[in-house]
């Protein structure tokens, strides 16, 4: 299985985004807390050079408290300003707003020192598809200003919104590398619904997903009444589960497994932890 996904609206949106970046003061990079490594776009550091760069780890409710603590310690050790949020409930969003406003004050202090008039600070929200960028913006605004849904590709064009007299926000379509060289990353993006469903086979993705869940301590036997021994492959388990529960329909079984994970029915669990960082 080779997974590749780079739809036209993303290619167009990324080109327009790069044209806007020279006007930007603050970069809010949104990642999915379940896959904080896989949703780190390789070009964001370059795009954010010379700007205030905040990492927003969204969906913090979807990972276990001890996993969140491990990631907090990691970002602190790396001196990376990272904030854990839940865009749906608004948990953690006020802290992001407070830091962004402090950044606005610093930008205008520099402008005044150069004899320039103050202006609203321009911030951009960047991240992979379906990591919660639009829901975060709506929480920051306190109202629904941008469309949001639990599927990739909802935001298809850049949109400026006024957050306050001090801050203007640019909502951008999801950005993703043109080529997904690391297929393990691509599979995790598919598991978390961060790429289009037409780009992958749900049966193959779910087969790998159950192996990842087992590695992270999920007891699938408790959920589905069918034990998953260590020596069994994910593909074999999915086939057995399909025969046991869904009349042999592996596609339906795979879709059910992925949906159960995405909606939290398998529990709060991160697919990646800091000790999995590459050397």
For the segment 138-158, what is each residue's pLDDT rounded down to a tens digit? 888 877 665 444 544 445 578
Give pLDDT, residue 109.
87
56 closest CA partner among 120, 133, 122: 133
Residue 160 pairs with which residues in a beta bridge? 170
Give pLDDT, residue 146.
56
Yes or no: say if 117 and 138 are a contact pair by the CB < 8 Å rule: no
Q: Could you tell me the maximum CA-CA distance found in the chain, to the nearest angstrom?
A: 73
For the stretch 85-109, pLDDT in tens is 998 888 888 888 888 888 778 888 8
φ, ψ dihedrals at 167, nearest 5°: -135, 135
Task: Average the pLDDT over 198-226 and give the result.
Answer: 96
Q: What mean pLDDT value characterizes the chain?
A: 89
For the stretch 72-84, pLDDT in tens is 999 999 999 999 9
Domains of the chain and CATH, by start: 8-171 (3.40.50.300), 201-276 (no CATH)
Least confident interval from 5-14, 175-184, 243-252: 5-14
201, containing H or E segment: none
Distance of CA 141 to the CA centre of its chain: 20
Measured distance CA(161)–CA(146) in Å, rounded: 9
């Amino acid at each position: 299985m080779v997974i590749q996904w780079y739809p036209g609206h993303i290619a167009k949106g990324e080109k327009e985004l790069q044209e806007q970046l020279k006007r930007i003061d603050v970069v809010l990079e949104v990642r999915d807390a379940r896959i904080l490594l896989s949703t780190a776009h390789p070009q964001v550091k370059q795009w954010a050079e010379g700007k205030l760069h905040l990492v927003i780890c969204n969906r913090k409710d979807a990972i276990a408290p001890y996993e969140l603590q491990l990631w907090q310690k990691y970002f602190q050790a790396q001196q990376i300003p990272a904030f854990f949020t839940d865009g749906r409930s608004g948990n953690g969003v006020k802290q992001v707003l407070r830091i962004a406003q402090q950044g606005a004050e610093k930008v205008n202090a520099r402008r005044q020192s150069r004899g320039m008039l103050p202006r609203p600070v321009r911030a951009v929200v960047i991240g992979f598809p379906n990591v919660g960028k639009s829901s975060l913006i709506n929480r920051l605004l306190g109202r629904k200003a941008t469309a949001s849904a639990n599927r990739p590709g909802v935001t298809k064009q850049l949109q400026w919104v006024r957050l306050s007299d001090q801050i203007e926000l640019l909502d951008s379509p999801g950005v993703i590398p043109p080529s997904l060289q690391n297929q393990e990353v691509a599979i995790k993006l598919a598991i978390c619904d961060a790429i289009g469903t037409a780009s992958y086979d749900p049966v193959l993705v779910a087969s790998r997903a159950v192996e990842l869940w087992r590695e992270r301590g999920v007891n699938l036997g408790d959920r589905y009444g069918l034990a998953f021994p260590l020596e069994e492959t994910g593909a074999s388990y999915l086939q057995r589960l399909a025969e046991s529960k869904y009349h042999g329909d592996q596609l339906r079984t795979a879709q059910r497994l992925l949906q159960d994970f995405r909606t939290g029915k398998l529990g709060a669990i991160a697919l990646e932890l800091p000790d999995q960082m590459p050397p």
